[in-house]
Amino acid sequence: MAGRPVAAFAGLSGSWIVTALTSAGTVIGFLHLGQGPVCPANLSLTLNRDEHAGQMTGMGM
């Protein structure tokens, strides 16, 4: 989608929106299966239930 003029998005709707005229190619869409907000770190809007080998989930200060 990078390089496409913003006018190409006119009249379209669905699972995504263009966030600003200056950010052509930047879209917001539905979360993938297995992702969703988790409290208290709900600002990240991600949850990965299937960890990959060597992957750790944690929070540090």
Instruction: Tell me what the pLDDT averaged over the chain comes to.
Output: 57
Say how many domains are in the chain. Answer: 1
Query: Higher pLDDT residue, 54 or 23?
Result: 54
In a domain, 60, yes or no: no
In a domain, 19, yes or no: yes
Domain of residue 17, residue span: 7-44
In a domain, 57, yes or no: no
In a domain, 55, yes or no: no
List phi, psi (to 5°) of 21: -65, -30
Q: Which residues contact 31 (CB under 8 A, 6 or more apart)?
A: 45, 46
In a domain, 50, yes or no: no
In a domain, 24, yes or no: yes
In a domain, 16, yes or no: yes
Averaged over 27-52, what is the pLDDT? 59
In a domain, 2, yes or no: no
Averaged over 33-44, what is the pLDDT? 55
Percent of all residues in the chain with a pLDDT value above 70, rounded to a whole number: 0
